[in-house]
Amino acid sequence: MAAIAIPENTRVFLLDIEGTTTPITFVKDILFPYIRENLEEYLSAHWEEDECKQDVHLLKKQAEEDLRQNKAGPVHAVDQTVHTDEEKAIREVVENVLWQMDADRKSTALKQLQGHMWRAAYMTGKIKGEVYQDVVPAVRRWRHHGLKVYIYSSGSVEAQKLLFGYSVQGNLLDLFDGHFDTNIGAKVESKSYENIAERIGCQPEEIMFLTDVTREAKAAEDAGVNVAVVVRPGNMELTEEERNHYKIVTSFNQLELSGNI
């Protein structure tokens, strides 16, 4: 692997998760199937709890909004309050959630319920976050040399902390100085990276962003952030033009810090 020198003025590493620190297959083959396989059991176990009631209420509101917008969906309304038949009510929630997942919906209602289910799974050891083997030693090395390390993912900050807090390599949260999600802005918008630099308290050109998505790389680059595109197994293939334009990283160990020591 060829070493890649990072700019000498780099003070911060900003890391994407899916396809960068963590295999894409972890989300596709572990997280989403867990929801499908355990949804009905989870709802039955937590149906009377306030958090679950709030989740179902949000799903009901989303279903009503979908109906107003004439979006296709399950024929039954999602409601926890009108049914005396609990099993029937739960089946209707399951039907709605699976429909949203099949349609690759990103609704707040769906993400909230999924997040609560994953939290329970992480905390009981049913799921452990996957992190590539080269990530932890590289991040420790960067921090040893005085650089700060932040995460920026479209997944919620809570979901990020669960993945790293309950990982196969133990609790890794002490490796990171902070977390950003789309509350700071979309990852394909250059303004988001300016916002992150301002929040951290540095200049955009002092940040090195690692991502597997070239649209995100371009947005960061447009904001003045330094970028390397991460190529991992299962990631989207890069065009020849993209390979010629961006620094390409297949392992974090390629990133050379000699100019910063």
pLDDT digits (tens, 9 = 90+) for 38-93: 999 999 999 999 999 999 999 999 888 888 887 666 645 555 555 558 889 999 99
In this predicted structure, what is the pLDDT of residue 12?
Answer: 98
To 10 degrees, what angle do helices 157-165 and 108-123 make?
20
- Cα of first residue to Cα of last residue in the chain, in angstroms, is 21
In this predicted structure, what is the pLDDT of residue 59?
Answer: 93
This prediction's pTM: 0.83
Please, which pLDDT band fits residue 260 given cuts at 50, 70 and 90? very low
CA dihedral (32, 36, 38, 40) in degrees, to 10, reads 140
In this predicted structure, what is the pLDDT of residue 171?
Answer: 98
CB neighbour burial string for 36-51, b if at least 16 within 10 angstroms, e if fewer: eeebbebbeebbeeee
The pLDDT tens digits of the residues spanning 132-166 come to: 999 999 999 999 999 999 999 988 888 899 999 99
Per-residue tokens: 216: 């995100």
Please, which pLDDT band fits residue 261 given cuts at 50, 70 and 90? very low
Residues forming the annotated binding site? 16, 18, 153-154, 187, 212
In this predicted structure, what is the pLDDT of residue 220?
Answer: 98
> Which positions ≥6 away from 49 have C-beta within 8 Å?
none
In this predicted structure, what is the pLDDT of residue 154?
Answer: 83
Element spanning 62, H or E: helix 50-68
Across the range 238-243, mean pLDDT stands at 95
Please check the confidence at residue 256 and state whether its pLDDT lies above 50: yes
In percent, how much of the chain has pLDDT > 70?
93
Residues forming the annotated binding site for substrate? 153-154, 187
CA dihedral (99, 103, 105, 111) in degrees, to 10, reads 50
Mean residue pLDDT across the chain = 91
d(CA 154, CA 181): 5
Helical spans, DSSP H, in 124-231 = 135-144, 157-165, 190-200, 214-222
The pLDDT tens digits of the residues spanning 92-105 come to: 999 999 999 999 88
Residues forming the annotated binding site for Mg(2+)? 16, 18, 212
In percent, how much of the chain has pLDDT > 90?
76
User: What letter would DSSP give residue 246?
Assistant: S
